[in-house]
Amino acid sequence: MRRVTLCLLAGLLFLWSPSTSRAQWPQFRGPDGQGHSNAKGVPLRWSESQSVAWKTTIPGEGWSSPVIAGNQVWLTSSQKGGKSLRAICVDRTTGGLVHNIEVLTTDAVGPKHVQNGYASPTPVLDGKHVFVHFGSRGTACLDTDGKVVWKNTSLPFVAPQGAASSPILHEDKLILCCDGTDSQFLAALDKRSGSVVWKQPRKHLERVSDKGFFKMAYSTPLVVKVDGVTQLVATSAEHVAAYDVKTGKEVWWMPYMGFSLVGRPSFGNGMLYVVGSIKLDHHAVYAIRPGGKGKIADNQLAWHRSGGIPHVPSPLLVGKELYVVHDKGTTMCLDALSGKVAWKNRLGGNFRASPIQVEDRIYFCNQEGKTTVVRAGREFKVMATNQLEGSFLASPAVAGRALFLRSDTHLYRIEENTGR
């Protein structure tokens, strides 16, 4: 029976931070959810024999990206062929395995895409707790000692290619995007108890009303402030929409075509940058001036560009430049104000990981284990290329002077020798 399970002892006091500020890399795509780091001294060059502080085997299978708070690095994993869904904690200093906790179990494993798994959504941290999400199989909260605080398995939906949308935190709410073939909705859980605060069905899917497969989406939402109002922006099949984060009610929306959207939105320059489609399997990036209510006006779409726009990797906004890397390895720098191409080059390989920015560098990690470091700016310049073993679908994380990279089998801490 699906239910919300409380695993708390009576009288346990919660100390909730107002955000994720206690963690160095608390969520998918970092502190602001947009791939930016303010770290200094992160390595430019590395290999299996250079600048690897440690390399730790991660049990099971999973593509969730690492998240970091204090001396803990958290990930998720599936074991026993997907029947055991687990939270993994690694010691940030030593690389030792601290926790390998079975959070949820299931006998109905179900299908997944060949390039997806049963543990793809990235956890989110508030400095005291870790929140893990396994799509329709459920969501849970653990404390940093590894004790399960609560579980929620009351939000089923059918996801025949597996789950990928990562949970996010805003104040006291844990927010989920659940876009399956049978139902499509957003939900906010009380992060203290796991109970449902609100559940908002998706709208604007009339064109594909009889085609469940064409209603799926996998994007992670972003919380932004527009005209002094906090909004939750989430892409979906057929449209992007903003929601009142307190109630879940839709505020505004913009149509496009297509489904199975993955990229997380970016926000800057007074615009939202979202990946949608102009037709089936032909992705485009849209620059939207958010505001108002209902369907956005034509003049609120500043520009859009198709061709070379990725399906899976999220765009990276750095100032007035927007960087995109296509799944097949072509990367572009776009003028974020106009959408014009500043440069376009092929990095090679296949990409699922989203790029990140550290100082004046953009780190692009391909599936074949090669990270290409490109100087940020309107002239294309490769600063370094670095090769590791294994397959990399998870996005990088940064904490201190170190880069954390997850392969299909290992977690790496990349850091120059500081005499430790």
- pLDDT number for residue 418: 60
Whole-model pTM over 0.75: yes
- pLDDT number for residue 280: 72
- pLDDT number for residue 224: 97
Question: For tokens 């527009």, what's the residue?
Answer: 226
- pLDDT number for residue 77: 97
Q: Are 296 and 252 in contact (CB under 8 A)?
A: yes
- The beta-strand segments (E) located in 48-108 are 52-57, 67-69, 72-79, 84-91, 97-105
- pLDDT number for residue 28: 98
- pLDDT number for residue 2: 37
Phi, psi of 249 (to 5 degrees): -70, 140
C-alpha span between 136 and 154 (Å, rounded): 9
- pLDDT number for residue 35: 98
Domains of the chain are: 4-414 (2.130.10.10)
- pLDDT number for residue 69: 97
SS3 212: helix
Instruction: Identify the CA nearest to 216 among candidates 235, 236, 234.
Output: 236
pLDDT in tens, the chain (420 residues): 334 433 433 222 222 334 444 569 999 999 999 999 999 999 999 999 999 999 999 999 999 999 999 999 999 999 999 999 999 999 999 999 999 999 999 887 777 777 778 899 999 999 999 999 999 999 999 999 999 999 999 999 998 888 899 999 999 999 999 999 999 999 999 999 999 999 999 999 998 888 888 999 999 999 999 988 999 999 999 999 999 999 999 999 999 988 889 999 999 999 999 999 887 778 999 999 999 999 999 999 999 999 999 999 999 999 999 999 999 999 999 999 999 999 999 999 999 999 999 999 999 999 999 999 999 999 999 999 999 999 999 999 999 999 999 999 999 999 998 654
Instruction: Identify the CA nearest to 94 among candidates 54, 59, 52.
Output: 54
- pLDDT number for residue 22: 53
